Amino acid sequence: MKQLDLSLYLVTDSGMLPPGKTLPQVVDEAIQGGVTVVQLREKSADTGNFIATARLVQAVTRRANVPLLINDRLDVALAIDADGVHIGQDDIPLEEARSLLGPDKIIGVSVQTRKEAEDAVAGGADYLGIGTCYSTTTKQVKEGPQGPAGIRDVWERALEASSHTIRAVTIGGINQFNAAHVMNYSAAFDGKVPLNGIAVVSAIMASPTPRLAAQELKRQLSTSSSLLELRPHRQLEQVKQLATEIFAKLRSTTPLVQHITNMVVINDCANACLALGGSPVMSSESEEQADLSAAVSSLVVNTGTLTSAQIEGMRSAMKHANLHNTPITLDPVAVGATGYRSQIVSQLLCDFRVSVIKGNAGEIGKLAGSKEVQMRGVDAVGSGFACPEKIAQQVALRHRCVVVMTGAEDYVSDGINTFVVQNGHKMQGQITGSGCMVGTAIGTFMHAALACKAPLVGALVGIVAINLAAEHAARRPDVRGPGTFRAAFIDEMHNLTLEQFQAEMKIKQL
Ligand SMILES: Cc1ncc(COP(=O)(O)OP(=O)(O)O)c(N)n1
Ligand SMILES: Cc1nc(C(=O)O)sc1CCOP(=O)(O)O
């Protein structure tokens, strides 16, 4: 197998160079920052200039022992004895390229579809460039972006077709904000087989500081490998132990929990967060998200009363949360009730990495593509799932996160481990916003949970804590109906002790 580290793949574009920098300088700095392979892509250079530029860049790549590939032009690759070429679907056929270059040179092929991936594998490509991941202004692409879910689909086919020997990167609109999400979400076969890397043009070429840009991308890639490790098999006793640790940790840390939530519940959610031991901040203005993100420990995004301005705020907050590896709890309120809402939620899940999705049966059913339960307004209606735990598990696997599906019993799954929580009280269903407060509770514990590398357990702690508070509130003699329950519910979140939490949690492993 040819030596090829594809993890951070730079495709050049001299039209984007920052003022005062030459192409060899940018390539040199990018390699110092961690670029592992360089593709020289000169779309408008004539042959003489292309060869001259290639020699200058090759001096840099050879010194660093990084492979240099040439985009499209075999003649240029042969002239400078490059390490290989990268060809597209409209370029020289792969078989011709192989016979001209010989078996030892690297040949990469661009693919957009499962069929193109199969053909490139059959033709002996060394690696695939699977595109287009996100929209890009660097190049006019024929087909629209397919998002990391589409990339995963092509990648799975390529792996099957090659008996798991082919390597691949994805390309298109990838940057420091989304690199970890792309790697995590596009990983094949339930997240077990990640791509070999990402290919970027503008994220490095247009940066005034290419070394720092490459370093940040590398940091994001290392985050993504740890994300794949956040779902070990867990035993119930270990989960209960971790749950107790996370509960105790929250009370000693007071995390800043940002909410972008709906106008019906905003006050209750802020009070619930405070009562549980967090510190709420309820900003949704997109202009301040970059600054806020530096201080925020956890982000809760709730789609209950969406407005265009709020969506902008959510997108900005989620983008910066992903950059800082801040956990996001998404409450896709009423997804499925309208096409608009469904489209907004699906775009958020395509573009951003979330740690937890929390929803009722109708919302999670919609994300699973199930018709057994539907949404009427914000409520779930229908006969109920034949196998609810499978629905939660399926959505967790699809979206590479923890899923909490609320109901008379609450299901919590990360796709590998699934639990059911049997705490709670029917009075929770008699006040508005109790579901949204579950999202708040999960978000409040999520920072402590990530510190313990246990997002699944964090979600369990959130739902158990709030359900225990409901049980305690409903038992109080001063609670005579929904109004007094609502106030007592907040009190009991505040009063819940570690000992009560430990003794009263009812979690079963499925
Ligand atoms: C790594 C990588 N993947 C895809 C492409 C796109 O190549 P191609 O389809 O040949 O289009 P052009 O680059 O020639 O515009 C690539 N260059 N690199
Ligand atoms: C060269 C190229 N090929 C693509 C494909 O989809 O095959 S997208 C693309 C440009 C990627 O640029 P940026 O990282 O600046 O978005």
With contact defined as beta carbons under 8 Å apart, do 486 and 425 qualify? no
Q: What is the mean pLDDT of residues 101-130?
A: 97
> Which range has the worst mean pLDDT, 58-72, 208-222, 369-383?
369-383
- Ligand 1 site-directed mutation target among 110, 126, 146, 182, most atoms within 8 Å of CB: 110
Ligand 1, atom 7: closest residue by C-alpha: 88
What is the Å distance from ligand 2's center to 349 Cα? 21
Q: What is the mean pLDDT of residues 112-133?
A: 97
What is the Å distance from ligand 2's center to 27 Cα? 17
> Which range has the worst mean pLDDT, 49-58, 384-393, 409-418?
384-393
Q: What is the mean pLDDT of residues 36-59?
A: 96
Residues forming the active site? 436
pLDDT confidence of residue 305: 86
Confidence check: pLDDT of 379 > 70: no
Q: Indicate if ligand 1 lies below 6 Å from the C-beta of 39.
A: yes
Residue-wise pLDDT for 277-292, tens only, equals 999 999 999 999 999 9
Pick the CATH number of 8-228 from 3.40.50.300, 3.90.850.10, 3.20.20.70, 2.60.120.260: 3.20.20.70
Rounded CA separation 350/150 (Å): 10
With contact defined as beta carbons under 8 Å apart, do 38 and 64 qualify? no
The DSSP bridge partners found for residue 127 are 108, 167
Ligand 1, atom 3: closest residue by C-alpha: 129
pLDDT confidence of residue 373: 65
3-state SS class at 52: helix
Q: What is the mean pLDDT of residues 222-245?
A: 89
Confidence check: pLDDT of 1 > 60: no
What is the DSSP secondary structure assignment for residue 287, as one 8-state letter? G
Confidence check: pLDDT of 61 > 90: yes
Residue-wise pLDDT for 301-353, tens only, equals 999 989 999 999 999 999 999 999 999 999 999 898 889 999 999 999 999 99
Ligand 2, atom 11: closest residue by C-alpha: 172
Residue-wise pLDDT for 154-166, tens only, equals 999 999 999 999 9
What is the Å distance from ligand 2's center to 200 Cα? 7
Confidence check: pLDDT of 375 > 80: no
3-state SS class at 188: helix
The model carries a pTM of 0.93
The DSSP bridge partners found for residue 10 are 38, 200
Q: Which atom of ligand 1 is nearest to the CA of 171?
A: 3
Q: What is the mean pLDDT of residues 81-100?
A: 97
CA 123 to chain centroid: 33
With contact defined as beta carbons under 8 Å apart, do 289 and 317 qualify? yes
Residue-wise pLDDT for 421-454, tens only, equals 999 999 999 999 999 999 999 999 999 999 999 9
Q: What is the mean pLDDT of residues 76-91?
A: 97
Within 8 A by CB and 6+ apart from 371, the residues are 365, 382
Quickly tell me which residue has 């505040």 as its tokens. 494
Predicted-complex ipTM score:
0.99
Confidence check: pLDDT of 384 > 80: no
CA 496 to chain centroid: 33
Q: What is the mean pLDDT of residues 122-145?
A: 95
CATH number of 236-509: 3.40.1190.20
Task: Give a three-class secondary structure readout of 386-447.
Answer: CCHHHHHHHHHHHHCCEEEEECCCEEEECCCCEEEECCCCHHHHHCCCHHHHHHHHHHHHHH
Q: Which atom of ligand 2 is nearest to the CA of 133?
A: 6
Ligand 2, atom 8: closest residue by C-alpha: 172
**How much is the mean pLDDT over the chain?**
94
Give the Cα-Cα-Cα angle 278, 280, 282 (nearest 5 degrees). Answer: 160
The per-residue DSSP string of 81-98 comes to T-SEEEE-TTSS-HHHHH
- Ligand 2 site-directed mutation target among 69, 136, 176, most atoms within 8 Å of CB: 136
Where along the chain do its domains lie? 8-228, 236-509
